[in-house]
Amino acid sequence: MNRENFYSEKILKYIKNKNSHILVLGAGSLDQKVFLELGYKNVTFSNIGNSNEKKLNFYENIHDIKLKDNSYEYCIAHACIHHSSKPHLAILELFRVCSKGSLIIEANDSFLSRVACKLKLSEEYELSAVKKNITTGGVDNTSIPNYVYRWTEREIIKLMKSFRPDLKHIIFFDYGSHIKFTQSKIIKIFFNILFLILPKQKNLLSIYINKNIDSLKKNNWIKN
| φ/ψ (deg, to 5) at 213 | -60, -30
- pLDDT mean across residues, the chain: 89
pLDDT band of residue 150 (cuts 50, 70, 90) is very high
Q: Residue 50: pLDDT above 60?
A: no
In a domain, 122, yes or no: no
In a domain, 129, yes or no: no
Higher pLDDT, 125 or 213: 125
In a domain, 164, yes or no: yes
Highest averaged pLDDT of the listed ranges 3-12, 59-68, 118-127, 135-144: 3-12
3-state secondary structure of 35: helix
Which structural domain range is residue 96 located in?
3-109+150-180+203-211
Q: Residue 166: pLDDT above 70?
A: yes
- Looking at the structure of the chain, the number of domains it has is 1
Residue 112: its pLDDT value, please?
A: 92
Q: Residue 181: pLDDT above 80?
A: no
For residue 161, the number of C-alpha atoms closer than 13 Å in the C-beta half-sphere is 8
In a domain, 32, yes or no: yes
CATH number at residue 74: 3.40.50.150
* Closest of 106, 119, 66 to residue 202, by C-alpha: 106
CA distance 50 to 92: 24
| Pairing mode of beta strands 72-78, 170-176 | unpaired
29-47 pLDDT per residue, tens: 899 999 999 999 999 998 8
3-state secondary structure of 73: strand
Q: Residue 164: pLDDT above 80?
A: yes
Residue 192: its pLDDT value, please?
A: 80
pLDDT band of residue 52 (cuts 50, 70, 90) is very low
Q: Residue 62: pLDDT above 70?
A: yes
In a domain, 34, yes or no: yes
Residue 58: its pLDDT value, please?
A: 57
In a domain, 47, yes or no: yes
94-144 pLDDT per residue, tens: 999 999 999 999 999 999 999 999 999 899 999 998 888 777 889 998 899
In a domain, 139, yes or no: no
In a domain, 28, yes or no: yes
